[in-house]
Structure 1
Amino acid sequence: MTVLLIALGAALGAPLRYLTDRAVQARHDSPFPWGTLTVNVAGSLLLGAVAAVPAASAVTALVGTGFCGALTTWSTLSYETLRLAREGARFHAMANVLASVVAGLGAASLGCAVAHALTA
């Protein structure tokens, strides 16, 4: 049953990642991967909230592992950073790594804090 919940979450998260990435990136005339940053920060926020509250293992599998796992993407972050560096956009490459790590950790912390505040 757990594997099915993970698959269901992933089936929702992956298309949402693609659609969000394309919608956000279409609004920016920049080599910086704003779409990937957006989905990774949003997923970190949600995962922080899910991890902070006592939830059934089914909810954690569906939302945490499945949905957030498919919504966020470390591999695309890595690829886009490498692409930027190879294209000579070293500032954008470094900004991508720094913004992703700082914003991702900040979003996860915020999600955790908000979830704790709402459930206290």
Structure 2
Amino acid sequence: MDRWFWIGLGGAAGTLARYALSTWCEGRFGAGFPYGTLAVNVLGSFLLGAISEVAATTELLSPTLRLGLSTGVMGGFTTYSSFNNETIRLIHYKSVAAGLVNIAITLVGCLLAGVLGMVVARRIMAS
């Protein structure tokens, strides 16, 4: 139960941090381009990479703290960082092909799912 608490608390903190950074970016750079999302995804990927490396190579992070930071904070901040980290690990530990397949399926699958969600919502709303 302790891990669930820290993951949930971290998720809330990450979500608030994402909103704060996105709002700041929109105010600073305007809404013509998704600067906030870009900033969140790049920063989140960097931070999750650093957290993963520290957790894998040192004793500085307990398993609970690692989960709270990675699954909680970074999961609330951006899920792209998880995709990024998992793809890098596939390429590094399994094969470049596995990483490329993950990229292709994720990109195409998510785009198609988004379009399908819009179509379904439009049909439901038109009923």
Aligned to 1:33: 34
- Are residues 73 and 31 of structure 1, via their aligned partners in 2, closer, same or farther at CA, if it must alter by over 3 Å? farther
Matches within 5 A, 1:1-120: 1-54=2-55, 55-74=61-80
Task: Name the amino acid aligned to 2:28.
Answer: R
TM-score, structure 1 normalization: 0.58
Q: What is the RMSD of the two structures over their aligned residues, measured on CA atoms? A: 2.2
TM-score, structure 2 normalization: 0.55
Gaps of 5+ in 2: 56-60, 89-127
After the TM superposition, which segments of 4 or more aligned residues of structure 1 sit over 3 Å from their partners? none
Distance in 1 separating the partners of 2:4 and 2:72:
9
Distance in 1 separating the partners of 2:63 and 2:30:
42
Count of aligned positions: 78
| More relative contact order, 1 or 2 (CA 8 Å, 6+ apart) | 1
Distance in 1 separating the partners of 2:12 and 2:76:
8
Partner-residue secondary structure (3-state), 1:68: helix
* Bigger-Rg structure (1/2): 2
